Structure 1
Amino acid sequence: MSGDLGALLARLTPQPEKVAAYRGDTYVAETVEQLERLGLDPAAFATGHSMLLLKPDAIVARAVHPALKWLGDNGYRVVAAEIVPVNRHLARALWYYAWNIASPERRRLADLLVGISDALVLVVAAAADPLPVPIRLARAKGPTDPRKRRPGELRHLLGRDNYLLNLVHTPDDPADVLRELAIYFPEPLRAEVIAATRSAHGTTSDATVTPPIPPADRAGALAEELYALTPERSFEREAALERILHDLAPLPADTDPTTLLTSALTTGTPVDPWSAIVLGSQVLPMRVGTEAQTLRPVTATDWTEKFG
């Protein structure tokens, strides 16, 4: 890498704590080195692009096509799309600097969720604006807390008013774009994704490359591949509880669902994973407090206060 990584990061996040943490982050270093080697400015790439992760719960909810429409209606253009295998390590890598406030129960449920389906990652761009694309998309996506979501936001549109099963994730700021690009994609596939973004922007000089199908169409086709492998399921608590009770029958009539599910998860008792996720997301604690959070979420206000 050329130059000072700390100086680059200071332009890409309003958080000094994130600059300090990401200076030693291998994922960030990998992406910066690769972009520079390919002749691209990491800062320009990170401010001009973001990513929308459609999580396994979005695949179960059949949320990809509504999300694609929302992106187009709100001025975002898909420039690359890939299926990403998910496992417990990917989840911990993505939320490494914030997930230390997650409850043990939430981590267990998340480990079940990554076994439900692979995920779909969309790389998106948008028209020039004083706010970088990742800041704008994160704000437009809507908050994790269902009580704070508003009409027009992506999570409000997709529904499923649930703290854990929130369907989508985006980077908070441009620094996160650099980090998450390397989490999702190994180096060869990352090179293909970067090439796809250049092709979508019309910046590739290789005249021998056959124009691919439009990235949004590719995203839709990949969604159908995931749908074919992943059953559509209910997000309703009653259906989940009924299945859990069936799996653990016979049980005393006064069995408490929270105690029942916690025992099953901690002992490894076989139950339907999706039903455990749905029920657990509604009856189990999700957080253990905020004082231990390594990095708090970045907001558009944070960005404008720092950079204007």
Structure 2
Amino acid sequence: MTAPLRELLAALTPQQEKVTAYAADTYLQETVDQLDRLGVDAAKFAREHSMLLLKPDAIVARSIEPTLKWLSDNDFRVVSAFRITADRHFARALWYFAWNIASPERRRLADLLVGISDVLVLVVRGADAELPVPVRLTEAKGPTDPRKRRPGELRYLLGRHSYLLNLVHSPDDPADVLRELAIYLDEHRRATVIAEAGAGANRSSDALAIANDLYARTPARSFDRAAATERILRDLEAAGATVAPGFDAQSDADCARLLYSAWAEARELDPWSVIVLGSYVLPMRVGTQPQTLRPVSAKDWLEERP
């Protein structure tokens, strides 16, 4: 199967490094095998569909409804919607080929984040003369870095929170669609979603029903740094912990030391407040090493595919 799989991947990503890595990836193999058994063309499925993950921060921010409107306004149709419970292993599987540059602090915050809420995944279809749906969605969604987002992009619309709290994720290219589908779902649930995607009906109402349940279980919270700092200080005071003399809530260094100290002493702090403050003051990357696999852009797809 290796040679045919590599040929398939070569048609679904502009990165030779990804072809090599994904040819041996169990998640991708599972989806390709299942699509083949179901009589579904894997290449066609991956080009015509993408997925949009609304992370726990998107649930807290009440971002589902504006996301659905943005998708509709940008000619994407929701053809399936499902919720999953994420954990630390889910996060590492999803970003396995990118997290080699993640700092220990970022991983720790991400582990806290997946515990905040279940997540919503939307499967979308859309038409484009030049770009596969996942490439167009990723381009339209906007970058991770808030400073680089532009009006009209989904992440710009949803709010300029922080590098970590970027609310949504989507696969870069068609190869990622096949891999991520198996990370999200087991074989039985994948079969249901594949069938729904093939039917092509608009299932935005399913997404709204899931949203209502997620909102009922997960309170809306502030993304404000000052509010997060104040809550952490209250938690520490209630636990009888002392804060360093001269602590300056406006100082990134002081706030970072506050979190490091609380972690070292195993203090019980409000997880959401730690996530918010940490996203502002803790390092997100390790050194300057490159990602294992770099992100794919529309330019890559148009210029670098063989």
TM-score category, normalised to shorter length: over 0.9
Q: CA deviation at 1:257?
A: 1.5
What is aligned with 1:187?
187
Indicate the percent of aligned positions where both proteins have the same amino acid. 66
Equivalent pairs, count: 296
Letter in 2 for 1:305: E
What is aligned with 1:79?
79
Equivalent residues in 2 for 1:33-182, closer than 5 Å: 33-182=33-182
Aligned residue for 1:197, secondary structure, equals helix
For 1:93-146, what per-residue CA distance to the aligned partner results, in whole angstroms no more than 9, with x for missing partners?
A: 010001010001100100000000010000000024221000000000000000
Aligned residue for 1:302, secondary structure, equals helix
Verify the 8 A CA contact 2:145 2:163 in the aligned structure 1.
yes
Letter in 2 for 1:10: A
Verify the 8 A CA contact 2:161 2:223 in the aligned structure 1.
no
Q: CA deviation at 1:266?
A: 4.4
Q: Which of 264, 273, 276 lines up with 1:275 in the alignment?
A: 273
1:248 and 2:228 aligned: no
What is aligned with 1:208?
none
Q: CA deviation at 1:292?
A: 4.5
Aligned residue for 2:200, secondary structure, equals helix
1:14 and 2:14 aligned: yes
Verify the 8 A CA contact 1:75 1:127 in the aligned structure 2.
yes
Q: Distance in 2 between matches of 1:252 and 1:130?
A: 57
What is aligned with 1:207?
none
Letter in 1 for 2:300: D
What is aligned with 2:217?
229
Q: Distance in 2 between matches of 1:267 and 1:8?
A: 51
Aligned residue for 1:162, secondary structure, equals coil
Q: Distance in 2 between matches of 1:85 and 1:305?
A: 38
1:51/1:290 CA distance change after superposition, 3 Å: farther
What is aligned with 1:206?
none
Range 63-72 or range 287-296, more displaced = 287-296
Q: Which of 259, 262, 273 lines up with 1:261 in the alignment?
A: 259
Q: CA deviation at 1:161?
A: 2.8
What is aligned with 1:296?
294
Q: Distance in 2 between matches of 1:149 and 1:266?
A: 36
Q: Distance in 2 between matches of 1:266 and 1:95?
A: 27
Verify the 8 A CA contact 1:56 1:116 in the aligned structure 2.
yes
TM-score, structure 1 normalization: 0.93
Verify the 8 A CA contact 2:13 2:305 in the aligned structure 1.
no
Verify the 8 A CA contact 1:108 1:265 in the aligned structure 2.
no
Aligned residue for 1:4, secondary structure, equals helix
For 1:135-172, what per-residue CA distance to the aligned partner results, in whole angstroms no more than 9, with x for missing partners?
A: 00000000000000000000000003310000000000
Q: Distance in 1 between matches of 2:167 and 2:218?
A: 15
Range 102-111 or range 248-257, more displaced = 248-257
Verify the 8 A CA contact 2:103 2:283 in the aligned structure 1.
yes
Segments of structure 2 that go 5 or more residues without pairing to the other structure are: 248-253
Q: CA deviation at 1:290?
A: 4.0
Q: CA deviation at 1:265?
A: 2.9
1:293/1:128 CA distance change after superposition, 3 Å: closer
Aligned residue for 2:83, secondary structure, equals strand
CA RMSD of aligned residues (A): 1.4
TM-score, structure 2 normalization: 0.94
Q: Distance in 2 between matches of 1:282 and 1:307?
A: 37
What is aligned with 2:251?
none
Range 61-70 or range 125-134, more displaced = 125-134
Q: Distance in 1 between matches of 2:225 and 2:182?
A: 36
Segments of structure 1 that go 5 or more residues without pairing to the other structure are: 202-213
Aligned residue for 2:289, secondary structure, equals coil
